[in-house]
Amino acid sequence: MENKKRIVMDADRIDRSISRIAYEMLEDNKGAEDMIVIAIRTGGILLARRIREKISHIEGVEVPLGILDITLYRDDVIMRGKKPKMGETDIPFSLDDKRVILVDDVIFTGRTIRAAPDALMDFGRPRLIRLAVLVDRGHRELPIQPDYVGEKLPSAFWEEVSVNLSESGGSDEVLIL
Amino acid sequence: MTPASDNAITLTRKDLLGLKDLSRDEINLVLDTAESFKEISTRTIKKVPTLRGTTVINLFYEASTRTRTSFEIAAKRLSADTVNISASTSSVVKGETLVDTAKTLEAMNPDIIVIRHSCAGAPHILARLVSQSIINAGDGFHEHPTQALLDLLTIRQRKGGIEGLKVVIVGDIQHSRVARSNVYGMTTMGARVTLCGPAILIPRSVEQMGVTVETDMKKAVRGADVVMMLRMQFERQRSIVFPSIREYSQLFCLTGDTLELAKKDAIVMHPGPINRGTEIAPEVADGPRSVILDQVSNGVAVRMALLYLLAGGRQ
């Protein structure tokens, strides 16, 4: 069976989704006060920066950004011979009493995201944690749902959904492979 | 979402027995992983759940505080369970052989066994006998791979790399497993190693390991990027080699003056514990170029990395 690459979101759609996510976040939060954006490495980093930029345009405020690597909190880390490559976690501020927005590009089974609040709790006690994703591709295996979603994209389990943002080369697009 | 299959990395070996056979890629893998683990030790809650439910046994036939504590802390930070067995208080005193001890432990199904033994090759015997992963924490005069790995990490952090650096190791090379492992590791990573010490304590034909030998300390240290001092182990060979500690010090102690001969930004290393005034002057050990305490914190990170990379690896 031939593998066709389908572009399911182009640059404009991505941009509008990110804008909407930023507005929704600010609306819920009634502004940007005490808001912290934590990107889940690696898929969430570029997206988190974009969201931050939007918030900066809208509210004129720079929201703090941290990067969370959840490799060590995954439920399947030591069950496999190959270990996923670890990155550094960089959260140089306290999370106590803050409103944390976790950001990742795609939510799929939910196992990656499940690990994130566990990791964050080791850094402090946030007032609340919300989740923002660009793409929800379904097939959840755990009871985890995003609070802010760019697009719901139905996909087959065996397909691969790839989010590319131009900062990493190429153009903005979401592909199903 | 980052699928776990992307960027998957492996240490394909079951055990870490020495640096002799470790490739550059493998060494880089351990060092990179260790870098990521450093951050955990700076958190308020210094624990991640990664090795929850795994059991690490520290089987130490020789006395050790720093290495054993380092392994224990490393395992606990990964949420593993640790068990410490020191030979003097175990059934080894009743005459139990290494093989029987190993088989007994294997029957209790631990995941990783860390062993320090006075006989070279003991970890290798264990590795063949049991299915668990074995980490060599020092075997006789042979190797001490985790020490060398933390040394390499320290050098890499301070100098930005290891390739091409001039590294001088000074002391009782003959009886030093730290020196041996470091020679293997550093030559693999492309450093230029000079060994320095009393001629009688430098193994014959050691140049075959790809190192230079220099018995004059001033000449050896000249232009060095890294000066590593080894502890003069008086408990090992008493006064056979030197009539007095003072004589050794006069020739081989790293004083501030001697250090001036090295490069301006040279770093001073020591595996510890230090004999202040014997092989290293106190003001050098405590001075701005000393990275001795960095070595210690890197030790925990390196051991965490090894436990992580070796755990669960046999599926």
Rounded-to-integer distance, Cα B211 and Cα B226, Å: 15
What is residue B171's DSSP assignment?
Answer: S
- The most confident of A16-25, A80-89, B233-242, by mean pLDDT: A16-25
Partner residue facing B8 (CB), from A43, A83, A124: A83
Residue with tokens 């809208």: A58
Strand order of the β-sheet with B81-86 is B81-86, B55-60, B112-117, B133-139
Residue A58's pLDDT is what?
A: 94
Rounded-to-integer distance, Cα A155 and Cα B1, Å: 15
Asked if the model's pLDDT at residue B237 lies above 80, the reply is: no
pTM: 0.88
Q: Is B42 on the interface with A (CB under 8 A)?
A: no
For B35, B169, B226, B260, the CA distances from B274, given in Å and listed in that order, are 26, 15, 17, 20
Measured between CA atoms, the residue of chain B closest to residue A115 is: B49
Please report the DSSP string for B62-108 in residue order: S--SHHHHHHHHHHHHTT-EEEEEEGGGSGGGGT--HHHHHHHHHHT
For the stretch B248-290, pLDDT in tens is 899 999 999 999 999 999 999 999 999 999 999 999 999 999 9
Instruction: Count the alpha carbons within 13 Å of B14 in the hemisphere toward its beta carbon.
Output: 15
Q: Which residues of B touch A84 (CB under 8 A)?
A: 2, 4, 6-9
The per-residue pLDDT of chain A, averaged, comes to: 90
CB contact under 8 A, A84 and B51: no
Q: Is B103 on the interface with A (CB under 8 A)?
A: no
For the stretch B38-65, pLDDT in tens is 989 888 889 999 999 899 999 999 888 8
CB contact under 8 A, B48 and A122: yes
Q: How far is A33 from chain B (nearest CA, A)?
A: 25
Measured between CA atoms, the residue of chain A closest to residue B6 is: A84
Residue A38 pairs in a beta bridge with: A66, A102
CB contact under 8 A, A81 and B314: yes
* Polymer length in residues for chain A: 177
Least confidently predicted of A100-114, B1-15, B16-30, B96-110: B1-15
Which pLDDT band, with edges at 50, 70 and 90, does B4 fall under?
Answer: very low
Residue B87's pLDDT is what?
A: 80
Measured between CA atoms, the residue of chain B closest to residue A119 is: B48
Asked if the model's pLDDT at residue B71 lies above 60, the reply is: yes
For the stretch B78-117, pLDDT in tens is 999 999 998 877 777 788 888 899 899 999 999 999 999 9
Measured between CA atoms, the residue of chain B closest to residue A106 is: B1
- Report ipTM for this prediction: 0.76
